[in-house]
Amino acid sequence: MTEEKQKILVVDDDPVIRHLLLRVLSKNNFEVILAVNGKEGLAVYKTHRPDLIILDIKMPVMDGFEFISRFKARFDIQETPIIILSSLTNQQDVFQHEGINDYIVKPFKSAQLLKKIRQRLRQHTKKILVVDDEPDFVHSLSLRLSNSGYQVVTAFDGLSALETAKRERPDLMVLDVMMPKLDGFNVCRMLKFDSKYKDINVILLTARSGQESRLIGKQVGADAYLVKPHEDTFLLRIMKELLWD
């Protein structure tokens, strides 16, 4: 299976900088999306939902500061780290804007930029709880999710799932239904009907395909209901959609 690359949006009006970043980041296994100004950057962000943004300040049409202001109004500014890459040397002005996580002055060293990128991406890694009573399935899915950049924790029965969810506070659970000690429907219901844990996204992933089971999944508050065997790419797409809500 092919590892899903993390996406980086580069917003810069300088074609030399764009080309350099495209080459350096692609070589280091990132998927790179390019925009020539802040306005285009916002449109590209909405479509591609990158994992990190590298942003210039001085640009035509819409500069970096206006981009951040509009970004903050439209999206969750905590979701995506922003690294400023600019010739401006007054960092105090830059960091007055909420949402900027780091700053590098042009000209820059590729190694320094890559180090900062990896630091920021690690800090924003989403935590996934995988729950199933089949160890081989848990291992396989956990490996797939880890390769896609997620932090993974696991549980093998419903009671452990409930305890782990409350302790680890995952961003999302992939939850089997038919399990010992406590079934997935009850795990989901006990989390979703508790104000402290209701924001944990829950995907029920089960061999039960009937409409009655789907209805129960909806009633207990599941965010999605998928039937085994499943397509990994489809599961990853549903996860990303839920994590960006």
> What is the DSSP secondary-structure string of the chain?
-PPPPPEEEEE-S-HHHHHHHHHHHHHTT-EEEEESSHHHHHHHHHHH--SEEEE-SS-SSS-HHHHHHHHHHHS-TTTS-EEEEES---HHHHTTSTTEEEEEESS--HHHHHHHHHHHHHHTPPEEEEE-S-HHHHHHHHHHHHHTT-EEEEESSHHHHHHHHHHH--SEEEE-SS-SSS-HHHHHHHHHTSTTTTTSEEEEEES--SHHHHHHHHHTT-SEEEESS--HHHHHHHHHHHHT-
Distance (Å, rounded) from C-alpha 81 to C-alpha 45?
Answer: 13
Distances 210 to 63, 96, 222, 236 between C-alpha atoms, Å: 53, 54, 15, 23
Domain end point (choices 89, 123, 157): 123
Regarding whether 142 and 113 lie in a shared domain, the answer is: no
Note the pLDDT of residue 177: 95
Distance CA 174, CA 128 (A): 7
Shared domain for 82 and 136, answered yes or no, is: no
Q: Judge whether 239 lies within some domain.
A: yes
Whether residues 103 and 36 share a domain: the answer is yes
d(Cα 211, Cα 169) in Å, to the nearest integer?
30
Query: From first to last of its 245 residues, what are the pLDDT tens digits of the chain?
Result: 445 789 999 999 999 999 999 999 999 999 999 999 999 999 999 999 999 999 999 999 999 999 998 998 888 666 788 999 988 766 555 655 666 778 888 888 999 999 989 888 876 678 999 999 999 999 999 988 887 768 899 999 999 999 999 999 999 999 999 999 999 999 999 999 999 999 999 999 999 988 999 999 999 999 999 999 877 778 888 887 788 54
Q: Are residues 51 and 82 in the same domain?
A: yes
Task: Tell me how far apart the alpha carbons of residues 179 and 203 are, in angstroms, rounded to a whole number.
Answer: 15
Q: Is 156 found in the same domain as 59? A: no
Of 108, 123, 138, the last residue of a domain is 123
Strands 82-86 and 100-105: parallel
Residue 12 is part of a domain; what is its CATH number?
3.40.50.2300
Q: Does the residue 38 lie in any domain? A: yes
> Residue 117 falls within a domain, yes or no?
yes
Domain match, 82 and 143 both? no
- What's the pLDDT score for residue 162? 96
Number of domains in the chain: 2
| Same-domain check for residues 93 and 135 | no
Tokens of 7: 């996406």
Q: Are 178 and 235 members of one domain?
A: yes
Q: What is the pTM of this model?
A: 0.57
Q: Is residue 2 part of a domain?
A: no
Range of the domain at 205: 127-243
CB-count burial class (<10 Å; 0-12, 13-18, 19+) for 123: exposed
191 inside domain: yes
Same domain? For 159 and 108 the reply is no
Looking at residue 80, what is its pLDDT? 85
Whether 85 is in a domain gets the answer yes
Residues 20 and 101 in one domain: yes
Residue 1 lies in a domain: no
Contact 191, 197 (CB under 8 A): yes
**Last residue within a domain, chosen from 80, 96, 123:** 123
Is residue 71 in some structural domain? Answer: yes
Q: Are residues 135 and 239 in the same domain?
A: yes
Q: What is the pLDDT of residue 145?
A: 86
